[in-house]
Chains A and B, each alone.
Chain A
Amino acid sequence: MIRIDHLYKRFDEHEVLKGISLNIDKGTTAVIIGPSGSGKTTFLRCLNLLEIPDSGTIELGEDKLTFEDQKITEKIKTRFRKHSGMVFQSYHLFPHKTALENVMEGPVIVQGKPKEEARETGIKLLGKVGLGAHAHKYPHQLSGGQQQRVGIARAMAMGPEVLLFDEPTSALDPELVGDVLKVMKDLSEEGMTMVVVTHEMSFARDAADEVIFIDNGSIIEHGTPKEVFEHTKHERTKQFLNRLEK
């Protein structure tokens, strides 16, 4: 489903991704953990071309991009982004549109679906994330947790093959984290392919099929939650996990 081969990315002097290779199968929930500044968010942003890697290849479904050889035009970007949906740390809902309009925007404007059809799907999706009653509210009238769930519904509305989550609960008050994680767990159980960058170890333990530990731009450890958390192989992973427990 997702095949990443030798992905490199540098910002000026700083090499952020140092040859990342990774395969994620369809229906898998892959959780990426690692210290801040490790490159995990940059890696995620490369998957929908919000950052353009310097070299390497990314294959998403049938679509394969090899960086360095080909110029990534706007046309290629918009085509490639159709495979994925993204949920942002600070939600980035469109503040001038209601929850429902946020969800309908992509289907109507990008996919050219009739408004009625998009509205129906939108209401269904908002119901699914527990916000059926809030469809006509504007983002500023919703709590952080509600906004983030609208963000998830908005990403889902495009019918993506994979959902990308960039620290979806990091900006939330602790008591609101649960609702968002619950929605993500449900999606995971339904067989959605998900790549999640997070600091929520409970989510990684309970919902992940695979856990990937990234440090300093490289994958250090990759396995099932049990392998990574209980039978940790690498010293750096151990240090990282120990620090979290304190």
Chain B
Amino acid sequence: MVERVSTVTHLLISSFWPILKAGLLITIPLTLITFILGLILGLLTAMARLSRMKVLDFIARFYVWIFRGTPLLVQLFILFYGLPSIKVTISPFTAAVIGFTLNMGAYNSEIIRAAILSIDKGQWEAAYAIGMTKRQAMRRIIIPQAARVSIPPLGNSFIGLVKDTSLAATITLTELFQKGQQIASVNYEPFWIYVEVAFIYLIFCTILTYLQGYVEKRFEKHVAK
């Protein structure tokens, strides 16, 4: 019994750094890159949805429809295992960035669109009344206020993304989760290793939750409680 405790303890200590390292080198960069790209794509898509040009609205709706209506896992498989059959081969990391970005963009666009629509009509009218064009009103008056409204839901999608990146293990990307899988498969201690993996995700998400709270506070200083 004592011997078993010591083996497990030793295993947990020796595996902690390799798993954490995979998280720091792959999971975190993948999350940050795709979140930023997904935010930009989401904003553009939201603009297209709110545009008076019917074609743009249609393309945006179609895009959101596809990526919200199909599983993320299937999207990743199409990109990584499907594309080579039409002679397009991409690295696991690139496939993951593209897949997660397209998925994030679709969800974020709905968050941003809802935030923009939630801003009081009077704000548009006040902007128009001082002679602004629709574009100026959007950029100067509406978007800054919509940004504040959309921080909590975007924070949720950010934290969701951290965990969803574990799906990239299925397209051979050695991120946090796959590193854990590799270690568990050689030493036959899946229970403890996966608890450790869960613990490291928990650390990441906790830090990010604090970060979200900080950003929210900064944006809220101009607004009555």
Contact = CB atoms under 8 A, between A and B. Distances in A.
Given A96-B145, A109-B136, A86 B129 contact: yes
Contacts of A110: 130-132, 136
Given A94-B141, A95-B223, A96-B144, A82 B131 contact: yes
Contacts of A85: 129-130
B168 to A, nearest CB: 38
B223 A81 contact: no
A92 B132 contact: no
B125 interface: yes
Interface in A59-99: 74, 77-78, 81-82, 84-86, 88, 90, 92-97
B3 interface: no
A224 to B, nearest CB: 29
Contacts of B136: 109-110
Interface residues of A, number: 29
B94 to A, nearest CB: 38
A138 interface: yes
B133 interface: yes
B214 to A, nearest CB: 18
A50 B125 contact: yes
Given A96-B222, A109-B136, A140-B223, A81 B128 contact: yes
A106 interface: yes
- For A77, A92, A105, A140, which residue has the most chain B Cβ atoms within 10 angstroms? A92
A50 B128 contact: yes
Contact of B222 (A74, A81, A140): A140
Nearest to B123: A92
A92 B120 contact: yes
Given A90-B122, A94-B123, A95-B145, A74 B129 contact: no
